[in-house]
């Protein structure tokens, strides 16, 4: 009798869970892939790289000016060590050297401040762009979720604290990443088309493999 009661209780507990699981509509999205294949991500990377190159050029120009100023100070020190230098000339050159030393110290401080400021600006710019792109992807995902009346959606690119995929298994038909990427890129310029799409639209009688291969930068 007790055994029958126990079985009945277990069955009663299992049925709602089973019924709930059967009624769920689950989907998966590879957010990492969606982020990489979104045409705006490539545009953002280009803008960030351009900003980095511009900052590096400005930094290099400042560093070159600093090096020239340092060379001038070293030359003045060598001239001051010349035995034939008169007292008046030595006084004048020592004054000139001290002024350059004070100037180069200010230059050094400005270079360090410039580097720190630009690094912070570049980091903030990258974060703003990334957050904006993630929001746009998320908005498209939520639109798809609502249209398909899904109950749960998992990010198949996510990993746990142990470095293990949070989605151990999911049927391929649950994944709607391609739909999301297609929606994101529907208004992309022709030049921003994905490699797969470009290959599909390209004529078969194209150039030879050697001519078609990309040049190394």
Q: What is the pLDDT of residues 141-189, one digit of tens each?
A: 999 999 999 999 999 999 888 888 889 888 999 999 999 999 999 988 8
Per-chain mean pLDDT for the chain: 81
Any idea how long the chain is? Answer: 217
| Site of tokens 């892939």 | 33
| Site of tokens 């000339």 | 89
Q: Is the pLDDT of residue 113 over 80?
A: yes
For 38, counting Cβ atoms within 10 Å of its Cβ (0-12 exposed, 13-18 middle, 19+ buried), the class is buried
Kindly report, residue by residue over 26-54, the tens digit of the pLDDT.
Answer: 999 999 999 999 999 999 999 999 999 99
**CB neighbourhood size of 52 (10 A):** 15
pLDDT for position 86: 86
Kindly state the average pLDDT of the residues 56-78: 94
More confident residue, 212 or 101: 101
pLDDT for position 9: 37
């Amino acid at each position: 009798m007790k055994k029958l009661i126990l079985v009945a209780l277990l069955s009663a507990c299992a049925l709602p869970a089973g019924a709930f699981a059967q009624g769920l509509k689950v989907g998966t999205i590879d957010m990492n892939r969606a982020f990489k294949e979104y045409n705006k991500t490539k545009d953002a990377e280009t803008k960030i790289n351009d900003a980095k190159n511009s900052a590096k050029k400005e930094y290099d120009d400042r560093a070159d000016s600093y090096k020239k100023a340092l060379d001038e100070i070293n030359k003045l020190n060598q001239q001051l060590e010349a035995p034939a230098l008169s007292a008046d000339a030595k006084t004048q050159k020592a004054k000139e050297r001290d002024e350059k030393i004070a100037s180069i110290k200010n230059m050094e401080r400005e270079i360090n401040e410039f580097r720190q400021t630009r690094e912070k600006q570049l980091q903030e710019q990258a974060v703003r762009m990334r957050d904006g792109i993630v929001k746009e992807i998320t908005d498209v995902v939520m639109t798809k979720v609502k249209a398909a009346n899904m109950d749960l959606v998992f990010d198949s690119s996510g990993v746990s604290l142990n470095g293990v995929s949070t989605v151990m298994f999911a049927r391929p038909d649950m994944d709607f990443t391609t739909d999301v990427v297609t929606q994101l890129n529907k208004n992309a310029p022709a030049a921003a088309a994905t490699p797969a799409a470009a290959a599909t639209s390209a004529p078969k009688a194209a150039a030879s493999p050697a001519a078609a291969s990309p040049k190394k930068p």
